[in-house]
Amino acid sequence: MNKKDLLYQGAEAKICVSKYMDFDVVEKRRIPKSYRIKHIDNRLISYRTKEEAKLMIEARNKGVSVPIIYDIDLKNGIITMEYLKGSRIKDIFNNLNETEKKNLCLKIGRNIARFHNNDIIHGDITTSNMILVDDRVHFIDFGLGEKNGEVETKGVDLHVLMEAIESTHSKYSEYFKYVLEGYKKELKGDANQVIKKIEEIVKRGRYR
Q: How far apart are the first and last CA of the chain?
A: 45
Residue 204 C-alpha from the chain's centroid: 24
Cβ neighbourhood burial of 134 (10 Å; 0-12, 13-18, 19+): exposed
Dist. CA 44–CA 23, nearest whole Å:
29
Which of 13, 72, 77 lies closest to 47 in space, CA to CA? 77
Q: Is 124 assigned a catalytic role?
A: yes
CA distances (Å), origin 39, targets 12, 33, 90: 17, 11, 38
Dist. CA 198–CA 162, nearest whole Å:
9
Which of 83, 96, 87 lies closest to 18 in space, CA to CA? 83
Backbone phi and psi for residue 185, each to the nearest 5 degrees, phi listed first: -70, -30
One of 5, 24, 71, 124 is an active-site residue; which one?
Answer: 124
Which of 202, 201, 180, 205 lies closest to 192 in space, CA to CA? 180
Residues annotated as catalytic are 124
